[in-house]
Amino acid sequence: MNPGVAYALGAYVVWGLFPLYFKLLDAIPATQILANRMVWSAALVLAMLLVLRRWSWLRLFREQPAVLGRFVASALLLSCNWLTYIWSVTHGHVVDASLGYYINPLLNVALATLVLHERLRRTQWLAVGIAAAGVGWMALGVGHVPWPALALAASFGGYSLMRKIAPLGSLEGLAAETGLLLPLALGYLAWTSHNGDNAFGLGPWNLKLLLMASGPVTTVPLLMFAAGARRIPFSLLGILQYLTPTLLLVLGLLLYHEPFSVHKAIGFCLVWAGIAVFIGDGALRLRASSA
């Protein structure tokens, strides 16, 4: 197997199986899980940078202060995405999380048009419109907007956009983001300790180890994704990314038995139809350019 494909598949499979990990922590408030994830991810990334001796990128913040502002924005979007995902899994909304990551690539295309002024082809607009119709159908049929899905798609779409225009690699970028979030996370955990409800401090050792594992659970798939993205075509990477929401949907339906009404099923079918149009258009364009 192409090593790039193996790295990308590994990242998407791990992300798709995240609910198995976060469900073990569902007795802990989502905000505390998020804070621990920030702390242990920052600790692991710092250790890796110490081993690799990669610190030259820090000069960039002094030479170009605007770059720091971009990473503040990406760090806040990343924390919103993490919190929404953790809350969705621990509160029985794994299916909604899968919907968010199904529509995320189409939202990225829309953001590229609105912010980066990229031009979309008619078939791409059609794909976005069909997916939007699916979300609207679910909002009307179910009686409420699937806000966890929209929040996940919007936060990760915004994060991807900020990282696209930020001049740092995967490891250095994650180091900057977790470093910026670290004071907030430590301050919040200190406040919970003062109030006597810090889950890490009060919990047994198996719970402590689970929370500490949030560092490698977060960092390893990100590095695998970065390694895969450098080795395979972006078009193939775009197709493989649908493995994550598919695994989330399977877990939500078969393992956690979340409700899946007829209206929601029709909405999902519309979203899948939009994705099919999007992938088909990309495949035809790729074939034409190869010819």
Q: Let me know: does 71 contact 173? Beta carbons within 8 Å.
A: yes
pLDDT at 143 (0 to 100): 65
Residue 187 exposure: Cα atoms within 13 Å on the Cβ side: 5
Per-residue pLDDT of the chain (291 residues; tens, 9 = 90+): 578 888 889 989 999 999 999 999 988 999 999 999 999 999 999 999 999 888 888 888 888 888 888 889 989 999 999 999 999 999 999 999 998 888 887 777 777 777 767 677 788 788 878 888 887 887 776 666 788 888 998 898 888 778 777 777 778 888 899 999 999 999 999 999 999 899 998 888 999 999 999 999 998 988 888 778 777 766 567 677 888 999 999 999 999 999 888 888 888 898 888 888 887 877 777 677 766
Tokens at 140, concatenated: 């009307």
pLDDT at 142 (0 to 100): 62
- Please give the model's pTM, rounded to 2 decimal places: 0.87
pLDDT at 25 (0 to 100): 92
pLDDT at 128 (0 to 100): 79
pLDDT at 182 (0 to 100): 94
- Smallest CA-to-CA distance from 157 within 226, 101, 224 is with 101
- Smallest CA-to-CA distance from 76 within 154, 186, 168 is with 154
- Smallest CA-to-CA distance from 34 within 235, 185, 155, 154 is with 185
- Smallest CA-to-CA distance from 107 within 71, 161, 147, 173 is with 161
pLDDT at 82 (0 to 100): 93
- Smallest CA-to-CA distance from 115 within 74, 71, 162, 80 is with 162
pLDDT at 275 (0 to 100): 82
Residues in the chain: 291
- Smallest CA-to-CA distance from 159 within 222, 216, 209 is with 222
Domain limits, the chain:
3-290
pLDDT at 235 (0 to 100): 59
pLDDT at 252 (0 to 100): 93
